[in-house]
């Protein structure tokens, strides 16, 4: 099974964002699949060792605001919504420590909206991103979940395997 650790996200006006960026070519993530990834686990035979190792994960369940847009790549390859909250960095660090993994790249809390194939007008793209700079775009109910990703020709199907309830730090 193909797994990742994440938190699902709600974008208030996803249809409106898609309309604002209708001039870009790419594949938009389905609304029900919008999420933040802390760590991509990959293919495993069973989730039991991961669940066991993360049993002491500690976080405060609450709502995290999603504000502003950004992009990765030159030329742009990913359009994303930003979730900048210190607790997300803390969760990602705990996961790395508990799973005993070294992160090859820095954790940037984000919700992928679109995998971009082509931006027809880069200046317009940047202008649109700036227009969303301080807009509340959505929320995440902070729950760390182990999610199965089943890839199909029509896109990914996500299923929560386990939700980690917060435990006080020792």
CATH number for 89:
3.90.1140.10
Residue 104 within a domain: yes
Average pLDDT over residues 89-106: 90
Please give the Cα distance from 63 to 113 (Å, whole number): 20
Read off the pLDDT of residues 62-75 as tens digits, 9 standing for 90 and up: 999 999 999 999 99
Name, in order, each residue with C-beta under 8 angstroms of 99's C-beta and a sequence gap of 6 or more: 39, 50, 53, 54
Structural domain of residue 16, as residue ranges? 2-164
Residue 170 within a domain: no
Read off the pLDDT of residues 41-65 as tens digits, 9 standing for 90 and up: 999 999 999 999 999 999 999 999 9
Task: Identify the pLDDT of residue 168.
Answer: 60
Q: Quote the longest CA-to-CA distance of the chain.
A: 53
Read off the pLDDT of residues 148-166 as tens digits, 9 standing for 90 and up: 999 888 888 999 999 998 7
Over 60: is that where the pLDDT of 19 sits?
yes
Count of beta carbons in the 10 Å neighbourhood of residue 21: 21
Over 70: is that where the pLDDT of 170 sits?
no
What average pLDDT is seen over the chain? 94
pLDDT tier at 169, thresholds 50, 70, 90 = low
Task: Identify the pLDDT of residue 152.
Answer: 87
Count of beta carbons in the 10 Å neighbourhood of residue 68: 18
Q: Provide the whole-model pTM.
A: 0.92
pLDDT tier at 134, thresholds 50, 70, 90 = confident
Residue 77 within a domain: yes
Residue 10 within a domain: yes
pLDDT tier at 167, thresholds 50, 70, 90 = low
Residue 169 within a domain: no
Task: Identify the pLDDT of residue 102.
Answer: 81
Domain count, the chain: 1
């Amino acid at each position: 099974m193909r797994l990742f650790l994440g938190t699902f996200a709600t974008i208030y006006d996803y249809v409106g964002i898609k309309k604002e960026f209708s001039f870009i070519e790419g594949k938009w993530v389905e609304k029900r699949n919008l999420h933040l990834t802390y760590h991509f686990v990959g293919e495993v035979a069973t989730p039991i060792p991961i669940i066991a190792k993360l049993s002491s994960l500690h976080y405060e369940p609450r709502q995290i605001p999603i504000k502003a847009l950004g992009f990765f790549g030159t030329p742009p390859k990913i359009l994303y919504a930003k979730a900048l909250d210190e607790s997300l960095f803390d969760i990602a660090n705990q996961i790395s420590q508990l799973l005993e993994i070294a992160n090859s790249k820095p954790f940037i809390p984000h919700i992928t909206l679109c995998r971009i194939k082509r931006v027809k007008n880069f200046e317009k793209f940047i202008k649109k991103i700036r227009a969303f700079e301080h807009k509340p775009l959505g929320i995440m109910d902070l729950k760390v979940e182990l999610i199965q990703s089943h890839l199909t020709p029509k896109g990914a199907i996500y299923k929560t395997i386990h939700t980690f309830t917060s435990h006080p730090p020792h």
